[in-house]
Structure 1
Amino acid sequence: MYTSFNIMDSPVQIPFKSFIQLKVGDATPIYLQIIFEFIKAIQLGLLPEGTKLPGTRILCKLLAVNRNTLIKAFQDLEAQGFIEIRPNQGTFILSDQKRNQSKRGISKPEKTAKAPIENFSFKSSSVLENPEEWSDLPLQFNDGLPDIRLIHTDILARLYVSKLKRQKIRQPWEQIQTQSHQHFKKQFFNFLNLTRGLRISESNLLTTSSHEVSLFLVTKLLISEGDQVIVGAPGYYLSNMTLTDSGAKIIPVAVDEEGLDLASLKKICETQKIRMVYLTSVYHYPTTISLSAKRRMEILELANQYGFVIVEDDYDFDFHLDSNPILPLAAIDSNHRVVYLGSFARSLPAGFGYGFITAPAAFIKELEKHQRILEPGIDVIKEQVLTDWIQDGEVHRLSKKNKVIYRERRDEFVRLLTEKLSGRIKFSIPVRGLAIWVEWLDHFNLIRMQKKCAEDGLFLPKTILYQTKSVTATRLGFGSMNLKEMENAINILAKCLKRLINDPLEGEKITLTA
């Protein structure tokens, strides 16, 4: 089926159905599939610059999608600089994308040359398309990253160089690696037992190069094609991508003020076979809610009753700001149903952090087989440096020092939100982590907010924007900003919100159906 319209005032016919391929029932929402397919078509030259697209009603019939879904996708494409929507004129593929991209401060994938015809086939994943964006705007929110300006790079660098200079090869390298790694693991599991209340030994621990590798390895062993996995809604987009790519069928369960809704979980378990429940129990991503004490006990009982595995992800443990740390489920799991994974010292420079997994010894032993292929080498010097940091208490001192700074930033961020956006938002003060979940009380489109903020020098990546029929919310990270940067960022938010609310057209909220 072809649609007639003009490209640069020349009538042509373009077979949209041949390159816009949408999969109904796929885990990726339809509006995101539309975005990915149009971007791909633009980059491959199938939609040349200056092309005028058909009207949304025509395209909706052609692609068999809801008009609101298509409108949302087009708004997103416009925000990224791929198309321009001109009132009373139509929608056009931008003829000067680089200029528009710089103006908005929002990233887009680099344009690539048309690839030659492939001589072999291979698997292609739309699930793993990178959703993250970058910007060079002076102010930027993120989803709760630490401030790299607080990282003690100089101390670690001196320790690393010192270890390199003192390293003398007097034994076979394999023996050095084994001894060093065993010593590191001993310090590491002692550290986890002390800080998280675990009762593990060396046989219950696997260290990895990152949190992401830990989750990848766990899903590789636990998930088979079609296995049903419960996740909180809203949830963590990166873990959902990993789970979906592993073949899991994701079943979202709502999160309320006490954490995952266990009544809904139990109803699902009564009628369906659940393989795994993925939890960020101590600090739910993105809402920052902690699973209540009552529900913590209940979910362990449900796991034992219905035979599912709990994968407990505690990537942000380092940033408890007020009370004593809430212990993970793994610390009170007597039936060995919990696989606990996280990251070590997110305040360390890139390359020095570690991921880890704790689980029954037999499961860890099987994980090691796969890790030997994925990560065959051991960075002996890096392990020795971190071993010294743990033994000398430097990790605790750094954590304690940064905690004071981040607590001050959180309190100032809360004060600014209350002062500048009173009556417009609702939020709870988190006791840990470096982000606040902010729900907006007014009705407006978050993509329009993103564009308005970018015009004033504030970048809001799409990964922190959450909009459904019932919720308009953002996860605002405060940890990477100093006090002055926070004030400027909140002032821009308040200014842009006022403009959106006062202009009915700007503030129009699109109903999402995808």
Structure 2
Amino acid sequence: MLRPWKTIFNVSFNAQQTLVEQISGVIRNEIIKGRLERGAALPGSRLLAADIGVNRKTVVFAYEVLVAEGWLESKHKSGTFVSANLPLMKDRSGQSSKYPLSNFEYIQYASFTVTDRPLAENLIVFNEGAPDTRLAPLKELSAGYKRVFQRQGKWRLLGYGSEKGAIKLREMLSIMLSRDRGLHVDADNICVTRGSQMAIYLAARVLVRPGDVIAIENPGYYAVRKLFHEAGAILKAVEVDKDGIDVDALERLCITTKIKAVYVTPHHQFPTTVTMQAGRRMRLLELSLKYSFAVIEDDYDHEYHFGTGNNLALASHEMAANVIYISSLSKLIAPAIRVGYITGPASFIQSLVNLRVQIDRQGDAILENAIAELMEDGTIARHARKAVGVYKERRDLMLACLQENFGHHITYHKPEGGLACWLQFKNDLNMDQYITGLRQKGVQIVPPASFYLNNQSTNFIRLGYGSLNAEELITGLKIMGDTYYQALL
């Protein structure tokens, strides 16, 4: 057990008590207060003696007194510890104190609902569409780190670098965006962030003044609603159908209301998974120029497309002057690899970079250079091809299991990409009770009301299949089917 480097014991050296009494009394009080817990290791007698400025034998005698009283216990060749046989000391933090309580005002941020990891042990989690970390190229990433540290001049990476991110990674991203997504963007106009969530946060803070109107997809990404709301924006919902966001409804909103920006997920709409059709993409860009609003394109899972052809990014179009493009490598590699990026009009990106410096001087230069190595040698591209094949098989298995376990009781849109499926129950269902019943049987799903601006009750659910293997999918969907039929009785 680790011992403290420095003690917190305060000995006053008063004349009314011996040093042994004072030291033993201080330790005894720390145990009673709960600051020294059962089993806690005390400093060695030599260290404590040097720290408080007494003879070592004085500390040894004080320890012996406390051992004799049962407060401490001595373990041969291990040291001195608070006795494990003591009762748990009561938490006195809520009791009155001679010290005043804090009384300054501050903003209270609401807790954020976690849906991408188990809320309890041994749950099969149908999350919102996370990748399977078991597929991550860990060996190659480790080798990339090693090459970075073997490079001549590696010590420079330990100092401050560009607030926009490692130049090597930005150059690789520039090449990838041009080759795979049709964007022609200079590396100097890319800002690397700690995941796409950070990029969205920065964009919101640069764009929004209190009272500005932001249009969002409905249903849509609840985290974005929270970010824009806390930045002071007024949110206006625009419905989504089988072709993506309703641009006619968006124009009607623009006629009556000045909007600052619209947030869209055109490649695979979140949560419905539909792809925005070409005509709507053109119309959206035309509206952005006509009514002078920004388009925030969140391309969160571009690599995972199973159909023929490649839908280029909205930002690749010649009319995309007002598009702010955000994407990430986290879903491609692993969620723990916090690497996102953002590009857009040069002056906007520079303002965003200036803000980023205030809250996060720079990203992880070692990680960014290691990933750049893997992009340059083709590892990332090979991993993407392999992952797409695995996820396509899982999608097909999921659709087969849905058909087997629910039959005509559901309808769904077959996703042409992404890592999740959007389905609707035909019968009315008490979703809260259904979710509770699933949890009791070891299955967790995302509460569907969170996708809607007004948290409305809905019979739609989004089931992420990417992070589950075949056995988990089969078992989880069987439980979901059985629980559904029981709920109908």
For the superposition of Structure 1 and Structure 2, which TM-score range results when normalised by the shorter chain? Answer: 0.7 to 0.9
What corresponds to 1:406 in structure 2? 391
Is 1:225 matched up with 2:214?
A: no
- Which residue identity lines up with residue 485 of structure 2 in the other structure? K
**1:266-415 superposed matches below 5 A:** 266-334=251-319, 336-415=321-400
**Which among 226, 231, 240 is matched to residue 225 of structure 2?**
240
Q: CA deviation at 1:159?
A: 2.3
Asked whether the 8 Å contact 1:137–1:459 carries over to 2, the reply is: no
What corresponds to 1:50 in structure 2? none
**1:22-421 superposed matches below 5 A:** 117-126=101-110, 129-132=111-114, 134-166=119-151, 168=153, 181-334=166-319, 336-421=321-406
- The 2-side partners of 1:138 and 1:300 are apart by 43
Q: TM-score, normalised on structure 1?
A: 0.71
What corresponds to 2:473 in structure 1? 486
Is 1:444 matched up with 2:426?
A: no
- The 1-side partners of 2:202 and 2:128 are apart by 24
Q: CA deviation at 1:264?
A: 1.2
Which digits, 9 at most, give the CA deviation of each residue in 1:421-471, with x for residues without a partner? 111100011111100001110111111111111222212243687687784
- Which residue identity lines up with residue 103 of structure 2 in the other structure? N
- The 1-side partners of 2:134 and 2:449 are apart by 22
Which digits, 9 at most, give the CA deviation of each residue in 1:342-394, with x for residues without a partner? 11252324543411111111111111111112221343322221121111111
- Which residue identity lines up with residue 112 of structure 2 in the other structure? N
Asked whether the 8 Å contact 2:131–2:335 carries over to 1, the reply is: no
The 1:385–1:469 alpha-carbon spacing in structure 2 relative to 1, beyond 3 Å, is: closer
Q: CA deviation at 1:163?
A: 2.3
- The 1-side partners of 2:436 and 2:363 are apart by 45
Asked whether the 8 Å contact 2:330–2:340 carries over to 1, the reply is: no
Q: CA deviation at 1:162?
A: 3.7
- The 2-side partners of 1:170 and 1:416 are apart by 53
The 1:466–1:370 alpha-carbon spacing in structure 2 relative to 1, beyond 3 Å, is: closer
Q: TM-score, normalised on structure 2?
A: 0.75
Which digits, 9 at most, give the CA deviation of each residue in 1:297-327, with x for residues without a partner? 1111111111111111111112112223311
| Structure 1: runs of 5 or more not aligned | 1-110, 503-514
Asked whether the 8 Å contact 2:126–2:465 carries over to 1, the reply is: yes
Asked whether the 8 Å contact 1:199–1:331 carries over to 2, the reply is: yes
- The 2-side partners of 1:252 and 1:430 are apart by 23
- Which residue identity lines up with residue 361 of structure 2 in the other structure? P
- Which residue identity lines up with residue 113 of structure 2 in the other structure? P
The 1:194–1:119 alpha-carbon spacing in structure 2 relative to 1, beyond 3 Å, is: same
Q: CA deviation at 1:191?
A: 1.3
The 1:331–1:224 alpha-carbon spacing in structure 2 relative to 1, beyond 3 Å, is: same
| Structure 2: runs of 5 or more not aligned | 1-90
Which digits, 9 at most, give the CA deviation of each residue in 1:467-507, with x for residues without a partner? 877841110011111111111111111111111111xxxxx
| Secondary structure of 2:326's aligned partner | strand
Asked whether the 8 Å contact 1:466–1:472 carries over to 2, the reply is: no
Which has the larger displacement, 175-184 or 308-317?
A: 175-184
- The 2-side partners of 1:188 and 1:164 are apart by 22
What corresponds to 1:476 in structure 2? 463
Q: CA deviation at 1:180?
A: 8.7
- The 1-side partners of 2:92 and 2:461 are apart by 32
Asked whether the 8 Å contact 2:183–2:315 carries over to 1, the reply is: yes
What corresponds to 2:31 in structure 1? none
**1:460-471 superposed matches below 5 A:** 460-462=445-447, 471=458
Q: CA deviation at 1:119?
A: 3.0
| Secondary structure of 2:239's aligned partner | strand
Q: CA deviation at 1:269?
A: 0.9
Q: CA RMSD in A?
A: 2.5
Asked whether the 8 Å contact 2:148–2:154 carries over to 1, the reply is: no
- Which residue identity lines up with residue 317 of structure 2 in the other structure? I
- Which residue identity lines up with residue 461 of structure 2 in the other structure? T
Asked whether the 8 Å contact 1:340–1:357 carries over to 2, the reply is: yes
- Which residue identity lines up with residue 497 of structure 1 in the other structure? Y
- The 1-side partners of 2:469 and 2:457 are apart by 33
